[in-house]
Amino acid sequence: MDKDLNYLRIKKINAYSDNSQGEYVFYWVINGLRIEDNFSLKLAIEKANQFKKPLLVFFGLRDGYYWSNWRHYQFLKEGLFEFLENLKKLNIAFIFKKTTDDEILSYAKKAVAVISDEIYLNGAKKRQESLADKIGVAMYLVENNSYYPVNIILNKKANFAWQIRDKIFNFLDLIKKDFFLEKVQVNSLNFFQIFEKEDIEKEFDKLNLDKKIYFKKFIGGESKVLKILNEFIEKKLPFYSAFHSHPEKDFTSNLSPYLHFGNISTVKIVKEVLKKHSLKDENVYSFFNELLVWRELSFNFVYFDKNYHNFNSIPSWAKKTLDDHKSDKRDYLYSFDDLEQGKTHDCYWNACQREMVYLGKMANYMRMYWAKKVIEWTEDWQKAYHWLVKINNKYELDGRDPNGYLGVSWCFGNFDRPWRERKIIGKIRYMSSKGLENKFDIKKYVEKINKELDLHTKDLFHRQNLQKG
């Protein structure tokens, strides 16, 4: 196998050639809001220098994204602010606009070539393919947010994590870590309107957003996530194997929102971890199992299974066992509103639901318990699947992500095996409140969430009073 797989990230998706008469190279950013280890930006700069043209980096935002709200857009905006300033330092122009696909098309038609971040989810993929058919110039997609190009590890849908685990670890060195950006030869700040933070704010104000305040614990941006990563490596990673499944202790990395919005890449994370720790360290292995094996599996899942977002993605044995128990009597039944508001009999479940709704990120281990209980408390497992996807995508900062779709699907038996048959869930893996109590101090987790919610409620009250004043 080749000693560097990074060149395999790039794929040309139409029959057109680079247009040497184009006015600029056009990088349409989807989720590459960073400078370091941004392989799309790297290709865009190289194309611009090859043709001695300016580089235009463009981020277009539309109304109407499913489940989007203030929380997602605020995190996005924070990352955009920093991306804008970092591009200026590189003499690269950045345009951010509330836009339409037709407007993106008009920019693309004037380009030497179009570069974009490859997105495996159905909607974004269709938009990119539609644009590529119409622009009349070459369009390149770059796998910018996976560690490996998706079909290198396994060129078909994986059914279990073990199918890719050994390759993930054995091929780590085949992704070169010495990332280098060429200096742009043409200063594109001289060719385009220079956008400032105020311009980004104005464009966001044009959006028809759900402006209800949703708290979030994290601030978006490349510099913010690098600080979080460094703190994790120094203070949490040495204990990761023992405590990452203990939500009351908070030894997880908290990197998932930043990975979702492209503020950091897994290549950067692996590089920084291996500077200070050995792959033989059980903590590193455990962390990379989450960061790489399960995350790369999620890309494989959404790439090869177009039903990734619905219950048709689960295996036939899981559908059969859930159908076999469809008429089983439920001890508890809740409406969607009850679940969304965290109004159930289970104080552990209510705590993790409120953590997600009000803070924007549920503890990783609790996500499994959260989903499996909804199956038990809903009259129809298919309805439960739909509700879980909806709630996850609406409230999680890392919602609408391959990892989230895989997580829900796993709770319904995907990437898992049949277990001892039980009421309601059949042969699906079971989780119980007693299991939580035996595994970690779940009551301390509930106390921790209540304290955090109290602090954020006071902060909201303070900010609302300031706005009134």
- Determine the Cα angle at 457 with ends 456 and 462, to 5°: 95
The order of strands in the sheet holding 111-117 is: 10-12, 138-142, 111-117, 24-28, 55-61, 93-98
Instruction: Indicate the Cα dihedral angle 155, 161, 167, 171, nearest 10°.
Output: 100
Q: Phi and psi at residue 114, in whole multiples of 5°? A: -115, 130
Q: Helices 347-354 & 442-468, crossing angle to 10 degrees?
A: 40
Q: Indicate if the pLDDT at residue 439 is higher than 60.
A: yes
Q: Which residues contact 133 (CB under 8 A, 6 or more apart)?
A: 14
Q: Indicate if the pLDDT at residue 464 is higher than 70.
A: no
**pLDDT at position 364:** 93
As a whole number of angstroms, the distance between CA 193 and CA 95 comes to: 8
Q: Phi and psi at residue 26, in whole multiples of 5°? A: -115, 115
CATH number among 3.40.50.620, 3.50.50.60, 3.30.980.20, 3.40.50.880, domain 1-178+197-304: 3.40.50.620
**pLDDT at position 216:** 77
Per-residue pLDDT band for 2 (boundaries 50, 70, 90) equals low
For the chain, domain boundaries:
1-178+197-304, 311-456
Percent residues over pLDDT 70 in the chain: 96
Stretch 330-342: mean pLDDT, rounded? 97
**pLDDT at position 214:** 64
Helical (H) or strand (E) element with 122? helix 122-134
* Cβ pair 370, 468 in contact under 8 A: no
What mean pLDDT, rounded, does the chain reach?
Answer: 94
As a whole number of angstroms, the distance between CA 82 and CA 316 comes to: 46
Q: Indicate if the pLDDT at residue 263 is higher than 70.
A: yes
**Strands in 40-196 per DSSP E:** 55-61, 93-98, 111-117, 138-142
CATH number among 3.30.470.20, 1.10.579.10, 2.102.10.10, 1.20.1250.20, domain 311-456: 1.10.579.10
Q: Indicate if the pLDDT at residue 157 is higher than 80.
A: yes
Beta strand 93-98 with 111-117: parallel, antiparallel or unpaired?
unpaired
Stretch 59-72: mean pLDDT, rounded? 83
* Cβ pair 36, 179 in contact under 8 A: yes
As a whole number of angstroms, the distance between CA 355 and CA 369 comes to: 14
Q: Helices 266-276 & 222-231, crossing angle to 10 degrees?
A: 30
Stretch 375-379: mean pLDDT, rounded? 98
**pLDDT at position 176:** 79
Stretch 445-469: mean pLDDT, rounded? 69
Q: Indicate if the pLDDT at residue 462 is higher than 50.
A: no
What percentage of the chain's residues is helix, strand, coil (to nearest 5)?
Answer: 55, 5, 40
Stretch 129-152: mean pLDDT, rounded? 97
Smallest Cα–Cα separation from 415: which of 352, 457, 368?
368
C-alpha neighbours within 13 Å on the C-beta side of residue 412: 29
Helical (H) or strand (E) element with 39? helix 39-51
**pLDDT at position 392:** 97
Stretch 38-44: mean pLDDT, rounded? 98
Q: Phi and psi at residue 140, in whole multiples of 5°? A: -115, 130
As a whole number of angstroms, the distance between CA 128 and CA 113 comes to: 14
**pLDDT at position 468:** 42
> 193 — alpha (psi -120 to 50), left (phi > 0) or beta?
beta
The pTM of this model reads 0.95
Q: Which of 13-22, 63-72, 98-107, 317-326 has the lowest mean pLDDT?
A: 63-72
